[in-house]
Every structure is written in structure tokens, then in C-alpha cells.
Structure 1
């Protein structure tokens, strides 16, 4: 474990009535973090929630606050994008273990970590393939899923701070199961992994802590208590129970 809690120091909170705080503090999950912080009790944490729930906003801010590039990439690489940090990433701080404190204060070139962000990952992978400190394989000749697993195998290898935002976007079911095995192995090395996901497959990683993010804010739950798992089970049992609400069957059969 490196980080035990993410929080916003009081002097960095927005001014005024909390009920009128600006974005992203008006997102319930972010507002709860601002009020009480978010604790991490296990080496692997999954943030699970619907689109717009704030899970990607949180994991991006965690990356920025730890010193990783919000665009994606490895620790020790200087920011290459021109945009400033997000308001939450600028304000956020961490309580750390002794190992985590040493990691954050270590020299830029010796820190171990990576932020794998689905929406920017493939272009970034192609740009750095073969560069020193990355990987030798040419990811432009691979599928997205093969490229993601290549990045994981080469960049998620040592005890460090690793973040992922919806890595399942590029993965088949089989590749998702393979990633579960890799994440589980990484967590046993002393590394810390925080992943935002829609995937019930990834969230089932043994020993992981699951934080469900939504209109309620956020809460620690068991895998089989997730709304995500409930709906996937129902859908796979009877897809028409869902599809009849969005597809006109008369039009389909014409």
C-alpha cells in the first residue's frame, strides 16, 4: 500500500455554501470525497458506476495529485499536455504509508507508476513504442486489446502507483480475464492499483476493494451487491426484458 486516503485539505475547498460549489464538487461522489475523504484499505481498488457518476473524474484527479500525467503515461514523464490540472487534481492530497511517502518524494526518474487511460491510450502507445523506458513492441501492428496488455506487461511491473480508466474498453471477455490475473499478481507485489471500470469481470478481482459511485455519493460494497452485477445477470438471462423498452419489435420484424 502506498496511499491510504485521498482528501481535499480544508484550505483548498471551494469558498461559499457547499450546496453551490462548482463542478466537479457538485458531483455527489466528489462532494463526498471533499467532505470526508476516500479511504483505501487494500492494494487493489475498483471505482464502479454509471456514466456521469464521477468515477473517471476521481481517478484522473488521483493521477494528477500523485504526479502522473492526466493525459496518460508513466510516472517520471513530464506533463506534455498544455492544459492545467483539473480543479480537483489541483486540490487533492493523500495520506500515505511510509513507502508511499518515499515514493512520492523520490526523484522523478525513479518513481514507478502509470496512468492507463482508455480514451487516449492507443495514440499514446503508438507514439512511444520503441522509446527508452517503454516497450519494444510496435503496438500499431496490434489490436487495441493486445496493445493494452502489452502496456500492462511492460509498465505495470514493479511496486508503484498505478491507475486505469476503463481499460475494458479495448478488451474481449478472455482478455479481461487475463487482465484480472495480471492485476491480482501486481497487487501482491506491494503495488497499489486504482481502476475505474464498468466491467463486472474486472471488479471480481479476488481481494479487491470495490467502491460504488453514483447519485448517493460513494460506498464500499461487495461484488454481488453492485447494481452493475445485478443488471448484467438479468440481461444475460433475458435480454428482451431490457430491450423491449428501447426497441420497437414491430419495426424490427417488418
Structure 2
């Protein structure tokens, strides 16, 4: 792995101000997040803090918050977030040079909202591909060397088959010495064998087995009986 732990020191955060009001963020400030596997998934409902945390970790590692590789740090005018500018890492033995030297840093931040612009900036010509193919082009061409790869809901543009291809890329990247931190709503991605899954919610952060994830339970029950859910939302 590249990093063993992410943490942040924020002195006297306003308890009534975002993002400090989010339980998962408060726990991150108090304890940090220790990585137990080369691939870590953060899951939870919208507003649970998973995207806030992965963006902050990307920024803390020196990746542009807009998205892109380490070579494009702050290529946009967007500044670092209040949490991201405070994130630090404890390096794993093989990651000490990378964490300690910007010139040696390798990685990529892929966020769903800005992915196509970031890919164009990386000379991947997304206009010649569909949205999903553009995502997969990044995985094939940019996720190749050991480094820290941070993903925010990469499944947003992908079909079922494309998600399976992404899963294979993540597995190969981890086996080649890379490390992945991914915020996701996907029961398919989180099923990656050996991945560490951290669920965020009202209780903060907790490690959960794939079979016990709330999102897996909801998808399982919905597919078994859609009407059990639809009767609550359709007039």
C-alpha cells in the first residue's frame, strides 16, 4: 500500500458548521481513517460525508480537487476545501518517497461531475467516446502505475458490464502495488474480494461486511419485489 492512515487536525471546529456537523467527518477528525487493504470503499447515503472525505483525501495527497492526475495539481482556479487543506497521511513503507516528495507522487482523482473535463485535460479526447467509454479510458490509460487513486462515484456513467470491467482494473491496480479509495453506491463494486468497506451514517464510520451493507440489502429486496418500494413513491 501507499498510505496506512489519513487524518486531519482542525482546532476548535464550529460544531454547527458544515462539514463538521457530519458524523463521519467528526469521527475522521477524532480518529482518522486507517487503511487495512489496498482497496477501500466508502459507502453511505447522500449527505453521509463519503464524497467530502474522498475529495479531502485527494487534495491532501496533492491531487486537484477538480479531478485529474498528480501532474495537474491546481490546474484550475478551484481552491482546496477547508478539510482537504488539513489532511495528512502516514505513509506505508513503499509509499514514503511518494508521500514525502511531490515530484515522486503518482495518482489520479476521478469525480463523476467533472470527469469528462479532467479527461480532456489529460489528452484522452472524451468527445470521441461515450461518457462511460471515457471513464474506462482513464482506467485503462491512467490507472497503470503504483500510486493513490481516489474515485468519487465512478459507477455513475457505467453500465453493469462496464462496472465489471472497472472492478477488474481496480483488482489489477491493487495487485500491481497501487492503492484505491472509492466513494460509491454500487453493490457490484463493493463486492471486490479483499476490499475494506467503511459505511458512513448517523453513527459515523463503521466497517461492514459486504453482505451486511444497507445498500446491498436494499438492492436485494428491491429486485425481489419492486412494488414493495414503488408503492411508497408512486401516486
Q: TM-score, normalised by structure 1?
A: 0.89
Q: Secondary structure at the match of 1:80?
A: coil
The corresponding residue for 1:2 is: 2
CA–CA separation in structure 2 for the residues paired with 1:152 and 1:46: 17
Q: Deviations over 1:157-199 (max 9, x none)?
A: 0111100000000000010011111101111111100000000
The corresponding residue for 1:116 is: 110
Write out the 4+ residue segments of structure 1 that deviate beyond 3 Å after TM superposition.
Answer: none
CA–CA separation in structure 2 for the residues paired with 1:244 and 1:21: 36
User: How far apart are residue 107 of structure 1 and its match?
Assistant: 4.5
Q: Secondary structure at the match of 1:164?
A: strand
RMSD: 1.4
CA–CA separation in structure 2 for the residues paired with 1:100 and 1:21: 36
CA contact (8 A) 1:6 1:38 kept: yes
Alignment match of 1:141 (pick from 125, 128, 151): 128
CA contact (8 A) 1:116 1:163 kept: yes
Q: Deviations over 1:79-134 (max 9, x none)?
A: 122232111101111111122221122343x42100011100012223432xxxxx
Q: Secondary structure at the match of 1:218?
A: strand
Q: Is residue 67 of structure 2 the alignment partner of residue 72 of structure 1?
A: yes
Alignment match of 1:34 (pick from 9, 12, 29): 29
Give matches, 1:1-254, under 5 Å: 1-9=1-9, 13-15=10-12, 20=15, 22-108=17-103, 110-129=104-123, 135=124, 138-248=125-235
CA contact (8 A) 2:68 2:122 kept: no
User: How far apart are residue 78 of structure 1 and its match?
Assistant: 2.9
Computing the radius of gyration from Cα coordinates, the structure with the larger value is: 1
CA–CA separation in structure 2 for the residues paired with 1:102 and 1:150: 28
Q: Secondary structure at the match of 1:200?
A: coil
User: How far apart are residue 244 of structure 1 and its match?
Assistant: 0.2
Tell me, which stretches of 5 or more residues in structure 1 are unaligned?
A: 130-134, 249-254
User: How far apart are residue 57 of structure 1 and its match?
Assistant: 0.2
CA contact (8 A) 1:15 1:21 kept: no
Q: TM-score, normalised by structure 2?
A: 0.96
User: How far apart are residue 7 of structure 1 and its match?
Assistant: 1.1
CA–CA separation in structure 2 for the residues paired with 1:4 and 1:78: 22
Figure out how many residues of one structure are paired with residues of the other and give that number: 235
User: How far apart are residue 21 of structure 1 and its match?
Assistant: 5.2
